[in-house]
Amino acid sequence: MTLRAKKTFGQHFLVDQTAIGHIIAAADIRPGERVLEIGPGTGVLTRALVEAGARVVAVEADGELIPALERQFGENIVLMKGDILQKSFDQLRWPSRFRPVDASRRPVVESAHPGDDTWKLVANIPYNITSAILERFLTTSPKPVRMVLMVQKEVADRLTARPPDMGVLSVVCQLYAQCERIAVVKAGAFRPIPKVDSAIVRLDLYQRAHPALGGLDPERVIALVKRGFASRRKQLKTNLGPSIVHVLASLRIDPKARAQELTTEEWIHVTQMIN
């Protein structure tokens, strides 16, 4: 049976092996490491993860894809049907066994890291839930140590931006992780072919907090950032009030600065001064 992508699930199946190689390299998987994949689709990336030695939990919302995935992978992965945004971390059960990467293709063996509770999120995610996935997994507990995601190129550019091109998304993501764009992936790498190009991004999450935060609640920074970006073309003294001029001056930031010109660290320091 031919598997057809469904618009309702935002499906665009990745078929380009070069892009898959970029994802696996960026994920830097150790044999036995736990990996969550969202939306395995036809299983192309899933197979690469298994061959890299990952213990994979794959969550697929499209029930029609489940039988083919079960036939492909059997007990080599844990396959779960449902909406990842509706599942708690406690519902995920990683396989205790994995297939190692070696020339002998030995049988499945026990995990080399049974006591290691770290995990990674590696996925070609449905673009219609990108924001929800970022919000969920940047703040979840326990956090993934790394996320390697395929997203729309525009989103990748926004979340990895630097001054003077910052935005709310870039500040928020960089508040929780070190963000890097790995590679641009042309639309022709997918079936069906989307209308836009994509990009692979890697987010290495701060496991405790951004080092500049101290004891500051990151939500306070985010609240101030949203106020600062209320009108991008206006100076911060207009969006945040004239008293911000003295705060900026004390931090050696141009009093005429606009929100997009501040780094994430500078937003943290401004929030600390205000509070």
pLDDT for res 32: 92
pLDDT for res 191: 87
pLDDT for res 6: 52
Residues 53 and 154: their CA atoms lie apart, in Å, by 32
Going from the N-terminus, what domains does the chain have, and what CATH number goes with each? Answer: 7-205 (3.40.50.150), 218-274 (1.10.8.100)
Contact by Cβ (8 Å): 176, 219:
no
pLDDT for res 98: 59
Residues 47 and 42: their CA atoms lie apart, in Å, by 10
What residues have CB less than 8 Å from 116, skipping those under 6 apart? Answer: 32, 33, 34
Q: Model's pTM, two decimal places?
A: 0.90
Task: Residue 3: name the closest of 64, 84, 83, 93 by CA.
Answer: 64
pLDDT for res 5: 53
pLDDT for res 165: 97
Backbone phi, then psi, for 122, in 5-degree steps?
-135, 120
Q: Which residues of the chain have pLDDT under 50?
A: 1, 101-115
How many Cβ atoms are within 10 Å of 247's Cβ, its own excluded? 19
